[in-house]
């Protein structure tokens, strides 16, 4: 299963990307996470459906100082995963 997730609220400057990378690696989910110029965080998750769904649900929680007010999940094209394996942070878009 591969999904693109957009998280909104107070999610930049609170360690959200680092938290998400740790959660994704612990769940065995591949993909990436990045800040968006509009203040959102965007991620791509690829892995077993139950692990991806659990990570999507965890996005509502986020790290301690985050305040999430939206989580949008849509199916994604496998090409969006990009090269390499594992989970990584990428440059702001």
pLDDT single digits (tens) 24-80: 999 999 999 999 999 999 999 999 999 999 999 999 999 999 999 999 999 998 888
CATH number for 33: 3.30.70.100
Active-site position among 4, 17, 64, 88 = 17
The answer to whether residue 35 is catalytic is yes
**Which one has a higher pLDDT value, 81 or 92?**
81
- Range of the structural domain that residue 55 is part of: 2-89
Domain count, the chain: 1
Is 38 marked active-site? no
Instruction: Check whether 93 has a pLDDT greater than 70.
Output: no
pLDDT of 86 higher than 90: no
Give buried/exposed letters for 70-80 (b at 16+ CB in 10 A, else e). ebebeebeeee
């Amino acid at each position: 299963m591969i999904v693109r997730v957009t998280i909104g609220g107070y999610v930049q400057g609170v360690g959200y990307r680092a938290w998400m990378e740790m959660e994704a690696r612990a769940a065995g989910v591949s993909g990436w996470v990045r800040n968006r110029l509009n203040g959102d965080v965007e991620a791509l998750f690829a892995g077993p459906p139950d692990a991806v769904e659990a990570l999507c649900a965890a996005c509502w929680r986020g790290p301690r100082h985050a305040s999430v007010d939206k989580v949008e999940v849509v199916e994604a094209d496998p090409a969006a995963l990009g090269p390499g394996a594992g989970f990584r942070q990428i440059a702001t878009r």
